[in-house]
Amino acid sequence: AASLLHRNASFFTEEQPFERCTPEEQGIASSHIARFIEELWLDRSLNLHSITILRGNKIIFEAAFGDYLLNVPHVCYSLSKSITATAIGMLIAEGRLTVEDRLTDIFKDELTPLQISTHKKIKIKHLLNMTSGIVFNETGSVTETDWVKGFFDSLVLTPPGKTFNYNSMNSFLLSAAVKKITGTGLMEYLTPRLWEPLGIKNVFWELSPCGIEKGGWGLYIIPEDLAKIGRLYLQGGVWKDKRLIPAEWIEAATAKKVTAPQDFGDFNYGYHIWVGRRQHCFLFNGMFGQNMLCFPDTDIVLIENAGNNEMFQQSSFFKITSKYFGKGLRPSAALPPDQSAEKRLLAVKEKLRSDWFGRSRLPIEKCCRALNGLEYNTGQAQAATAGLLPLMIQALQNNYTTGIHCFSFRYDPSGEHPVFNWEVEEGGQKKIVPVGFDRPEYTTIEFQSERYLAAVRGRFTRVSVLNYREVSEDYAENDVYDALEIRISYLEMANSRVVRFIFLSEDSVLACFREYPDSDFLLMNLEYFTLNRLRGKGRLTEQLANKVYNDVFKARIRSALELDIKYKTVEKTQNE
């Protein structure tokens, strides 16, 4: 399950929290941090969830964006790989493994003679630097239940050690190797060696179908707890005078081993850790903008959680971060207090939450009363794929919807705090989604026994009758439709669902389902994995790729994630 709620996690860094201080106390001006955050905030290509900045042993800035929370474990995606590599470094320190060990020696009792023959050249170091040459990848893991078997049944396309080919199944095999050697999974192995020494309690790792931690993805952790691991690396593997990771391993893991493609971003690859091409830094990186940047020269750890349209390091976040924390930053030991700059930074921090979703442009109570009791349904086939969960979460968690074919609105103003609910019939279950307007409503939504923590916020607005885009308040009454927009932010995930209800008439509403990250993410990565990888493979191959990846294909991808469905009131349908 994606959610930690079933584990009764308390969602706080309970042990060994970092001390908080002003940036000036750590030699950085608050105005510098304020400009950095403002530039991130103004960049609408980014969809940030939180930023945490640590210098030395103190947090100098932390902020959640919008309705997100800093004390909720957040999905890491491929950032998990760096933690898996940390466990490998510990195993090596214990003398139980080396980077030169062959995979076929570790798993020999599970392999056939043919598998040993075809995979005998793959070593631990080839998994760590993504040069195993193996074909079996994340796509194959969807249909294969035994991922170890799938790995050794797969073709070895290129000689191990020769070609960089980013593949999360390399990381899974490292996780499987930990269990094979120690008899325990990654979580149990790391508990006395990493989690407990750092005071990390609220951490969770998804398992593969055969019960082994996924290794390459599936880790959930609180930003402050992740910062502890970054701090541990900057301290050479020592925590509270106790060595947890060998210094030699940190040096090896954060040094360039292979050159990564330029279109991945401004980093090369070490041992499951990205290494800056042009500046002295290293990166734990996961898709959609899960990042921990470590700057040894300035003793800074910077953590981002987000829902960006990026697979690796292609977003403007890295350019902006380099501008403020790159070679030009030279912090002093301390700066004098600057109350004016501190107030500005606090104001910026407040703005991240208050100005995030936008305010209602119509009277909230009047609109809620007008919608109270209205029920809608549809017979459109498209509704079968319209769900509360974004399609990307459905695919990543293998938790698919059967669609929203009917829903209603309920408003109860009688209590101390009026309650507005969007009540949905989905998957044979009734789901009640409370909607906040001036502030979010925090709730849990269950999908096939998996519970997801969510923040729900709504706003009433008006859109043009021509293109359904939001318009200003001075638009003519006859040229607009009233609309309700609801955003569901899944706090542990990178993804969010936005539904805009456009009230076309008294008996019909158009529900526009959108999600973030959106179709641009899929199209960008499909282009990389089709066109870019097939260039230079022959004229016919390139022609075929261009034929498949055309405007019609792009439109189909967009239509799968961007659903516009017309619903009618139940009374109208019955009369017909």
Tens of pLDDT along 253-303?
A: 999 999 999 989 999 999 999 999 999 999 999 999 999 999 999 999 999
Instruction: Give the Cα separation of 295 and 282 in Å (integer).
Output: 7
Same-domain pairing of 316 and 405: no
Q: What is the mean pLDDT of each run of 10 residues along the chain (576 residues)?
A: 38 77 97 98 95 97 96 96 98 98 98 97 98 89 90 95 95 98 98 97 95 97 97 98 97 98 94 96 97 98 96 94 95 94 96 84 96 96 93 89 95 91 93 95 93 96 93 82 97 97 96 92 70 58 61 72 94 50
Residue 541 C-alpha from the chain's centroid: 33
Same-domain pairing of 308 and 398: no
Please report whether residue 345 resides in a domain: no
- At residue 7, the pLDDT reads 37
Q: Are 286 and 303 in contact (CB under 8 A)?
A: no
| The model scores a pTM over 0.85 | yes
Instruction: Give the Cα separation of 125 and 273 in Å (integer).
Output: 13
Please report whether residue 47 resides in a domain: yes
Same-domain pairing of 277 and 375: no
Same-domain pairing of 321 and 372: no
- At residue 87, the pLDDT reads 98
Same-domain pairing of 491 and 426: yes
Instruction: Give the Cα separation of 153 and 173 in Å (integer).
Output: 13
Same-domain pairing of 138 and 198: yes
Please report whether residue 381 resides in a domain: yes
Residues 423-459 have pLDDT tens digits of: 999 988 899 999 999 899 999 999 988 999 999 999 9
Please report whether residue 350 resides in a domain: no
Please report whether residue 312 resides in a domain: yes
The count of residues in the chain is 576
Tokens at residue 506, please?
A: 């008294």
User: 260: which DSSP letter?
Assistant: P
From the list 451, 499, 368, 373, the residue with the least C-alpha distance to 2 is: 451
Domain end (from 272, 298, 325): 325
Q: What share of the chain is helix, strand, coil (3-state, %, to 5)?
A: 35, 25, 40
Same-domain pairing of 369 and 234: no
Same-domain pairing of 559 and 491: yes
- Helical pair 168-182 and 80-93, crossing angle rounded to 10 deg: 40
- Mean pLDDT of all residues in the chain? 91
- At residue 12, the pLDDT reads 52
Same-domain pairing of 152 and 102: yes
Q: Could you count the other beta carbons within 10 Å of the beta carbon of residue 488?
A: 26
- At residue 483, the pLDDT reads 97
Same-domain pairing of 230 and 294: yes
Residue at 172: amino acid letter: F
Q: Are 250 and 271 in contact (CB under 8 A)?
A: no
Domain end (from 302, 325, 348): 325
- At residue 527, the pLDDT reads 66
Largest Cα separation within the chain, whole Å, is: 77
3 state DSSP class of 506: coil
Residue that the structure tokens 């269990």 belong to:
179
Please report whether residue 109 resides in a domain: yes
Same-domain pairing of 384 and 285: no
Domain end (from 325, 349, 376): 325
Domain interval for residue 250: 5-325
Q: How many domains does the chain have?
A: 2
Q: Are 293 and 283 in contact (CB under 8 A)?
A: yes
- At residue 11, the pLDDT reads 46
Beta strands in 427-507 (DSSP E): 429-434, 441-447, 450-464, 480-490, 496-505
From the list 76, 84, 245, the residue with the least C-alpha distance to 177 is: 84
Please report whether residue 110 resides in a domain: yes
- At residue 9, the pLDDT reads 40
Q: Looking at residue 217, which CATH number applies to its domain?
A: 3.40.710.10
Same-domain pairing of 318 and 383: no
Instruction: Give the Cα separation of 486 and 335 in Å (integer).
Output: 44
Measure Cα distances from 259 to 132, 163, 255, 277, 292 in Å: 15, 9, 11, 9, 20
Please report whether residue 336 resides in a domain: no
